[in-house]
Amino acid sequence: MTGTDWAAWQQSWDRQQEWYMPDREERFRVMLDMVEALVGPKPRVLDLACGTGSITSRLLRRFPDATSVGVDLDPALLAIAEGSFAGDERVTFVTADLKDPSWAASLPYGSYDAVLTATALHWLHSEPLTALYGQLAGLVRDGGVFMNADHMIDEATPLINAAERALRHARMDREKADGVLDWADWWAVAAKDPVLAEPTARRFEIYGEHADGDAPSAAWHADTLRAAGFGEARTVWASPCDSLVLAVK
């Protein structure tokens, strides 16, 4: 893997994700604001379903004394993450399946100041996500936080949802015509890379083209987190289609 430009892969991933979520950096900013407000500037963080380490990158840029444990199952995205943070003793990566009840046994620590995740848990259906939230309540220390920024759809507002979706997809179509890589295009490029081709093939063996999880409302997430053992939970940021839900242990 020597000589691979991991920074370029990180930037490419960010650009692809921003095509779907042009306000992506804003949700990260609010997430880290809440980390600082509730647990301070030296947190031990679990970057849940970490992908290429997008949250970890922004965490350490803002809080140099933080530590991060990234956990994911995707071998290609983990290869980019591990290459990007090679030699950084503040960062550890763990390969684990969040649907495996014993996944947390692979973690290097038993508790965390903050568990953070973004645009990932919609891969899970509501039942395994409820079980995961119960596990996270045991990993977050008392006074610590969990935050999930993701697609959260309020089915009580179908007219608003349809209008937002139409406008968003019109923008995406314009940008795609200008050459922006979408999800499938990005993976096609990765599959041709000498270093990422093999982990990309394994990735599709694990996941297929895309999972078909749920995207319940922010209210559902808050209610489920409180039922799992968190003391408080509510939305702290929202766009027309996504929300950031914060829960305090």
Annotate 66-93 with three-state secondary structure: CEEEEEECCHHHHHHHHHHCCCCCCEEE
pLDDT reading at 209 higher than 80: no
The β-bridge relationship of strands 67-72 and 91-95 is parallel
| E strand map for the chain | 44-48, 67-72, 91-95, 112-118, 140-151, 232-238, 242-248
Tell me the pLDDT band of 216, cut-offs 50, 70 and 90.
very high
Q: What is the pTM of this model?
A: 0.96
Report the C-alpha gap between 43 and 47 in whole angstroms.
12
Coil/strand/helix, residue 222: helix
d(CA 207, CA 173): 26
Q: Are strands 112-118 and 140-151 parallel, antiparallel or unpaired?
A: parallel
Q: Evaluate if residue 2 carries a pLDDT over 80.
A: no
Q: Which whole-number Å values give the CA distances from 14 to 9, 57, 61, 164, 189, in the listed order?
A: 9, 11, 16, 23, 15
Mean pLDDT of the residues in the chain:
96
What pLDDT is stored for residue 160 in this prediction? 97
pLDDT tens-digit readout, 86-117: 999 999 999 999 999 999 999 999 999 999 99
Burial of 52 (0-12, 13-18, 19+ CB in 10 A): buried
Q: How confident is the model at residue 213 (pLDDT cuts 50, 70, 90)?
A: confident
Tens-place pLDDT, residues 15-68: 999 999 999 999 999 999 999 999 999 999 999 999 999 999 999 999 999 999
Angstrom distances, CA of residue 18 to CA of 70, 176, 181, 203: 21, 12, 10, 22
Query: How confident is the model at residue 101, as a pLDDT?
Result: 95
Assess contact for 136 and 116: CB atoms under 8 A: no
Q: Which residue has the higher pLDDT, 213 or 205?
A: 205
Q: How far apart are CA 230 and CA 131, in angstroms?
A: 14
What residues have CB less than 8 Å from 179, skipping those under 6 apart?
Answer: none
Distances (CA, A) of 236 to 19, 70, 191, 246, 247: 23, 23, 37, 6, 10
Q: How far apart, in whole angstroms, are the C-alpha atoms of residue 14 and residue 234?
A: 27
Is 224 in a helix, a strand, or coil? helix
pLDDT value of residue 193: 96
- Phi/psi of residue 141, each to 5°? -65, 160
d(CA 15, CA 48): 21
